[in-house]
Chains A and B, each alone.
Chain A
């Protein structure tokens, strides 16, 4: 199985843009879709990106996902940061579309 590596933490000021990376250790990042989930204390996790760059209905377009095959990584970008975006973010992919692999998670602090 491969691993997904994320930065432990990122921080940025309200209104600014922040990106969180998710690097795949082996195999092609495009070999299976990448998803991103938001976890806030006391709330059910929320899916904010699926299929690399698709937003479920209800997720603001301030959130976007992309792949960079040159670095074998995926990225979540949040623009126009708001205080409510402060949360833990996890990337996720799968082995053979069955065995789920999560990144280590990134804590986003909105300064």
Chain B
């Protein structure tokens, strides 16, 4: 059974660094073709893809946030960590992690999601 769960602070002050951890079970991030992705949804707005880390440690970032994002994995702990530097109120959102896998046609899709964690940026 695949599960993912996000953890991190509920409140962060502007200019601080937000660090979120995705803890997962039911799969290994050493498995060929699997990735973990971070996605966020500001209140009342659309989903926004943030970053992805692959089983072979390849990493990809949203180009508009690339200079502020970093993603890493600890396969021994089954965790993926996302950091977002220099936050501002516009980063207030529910942050999700999701597993990405390759479908039968070769295209990637999210098959399992965490429930999300709400992060508010405010002084």
Q: Which residues of A are in contact with B by a Cβ distance under 8 Å?
A: 32-33, 35, 37, 39, 42-47, 50-51, 54, 56, 90, 92, 94, 97-105
> Which of B41, B103, B106, B113 contacts A46, CB < 8 Å?
B113
Does B108 lie within 8 Å of A99, measured CB to CB? no
Contacts of A46 in B (CB 8 A): 113
Contact (Cβ within 8 A) A44 B113: yes
When C-beta atoms are compared, the residue in chain B nearest to A98 turns out to be: B60
Q: Determine if B103 and A51 form an interchain contact, defined as CB atoms under 8 angstroms apart.
A: yes
Report how far A100 CA is from B48 CA in the complex, Å. 8
Beyond known contacts A37-B113, A47-B113, A54-B104: 13 more, CB 8 A cutoff: A33-B103, A39-B41, A44-B113, A46-B113, A47-B110, A50-B103, A51-B104, A51-B105, A94-B107, A94-B108, A101-B49, A102-B47, A102-B48
Q: In the complex, A104 Cα to B104 Cα: how many Å?
A: 26
* Whole-angstrom CA separation of A104 from B47 in the bound complex: 7
Chain A residues within an 8 Å CB radius of B96: 44-45
Instruction: Decide: B110 and A99 in contact? CB cutoff 8 A.
Output: no
Q: Are A103 and B105 in contact (CB under 8 A)?
A: no
With contacts defined as CB atoms under 8 Å apart, how many contacts are there between chain A and chain B in the complex? 70
Number of interface residues, chain B, beta carbon within 8 A: 27
Q: A43-B115, A45-B96, A45-B113 are in contact. Are A51 and B46 (CB under 8 A)?
A: no
- Among B60, B103, B107, chain A packs the most CB atoms within 10 A around the CB of B107
CA distance A50 to B106 in the complex (A): 11
Contact A102 B46, beta carbon cutoff 8 Å: yes
Contacts of A45 in B (CB 8 A): 96, 98, 110, 113, 116
Residues of B within 8 A of A33 (CB): 103, 105, 107, 109
User: Which residue from chain A places its CB closest to the CB of B4 in the assembled complex?
Assistant: A44
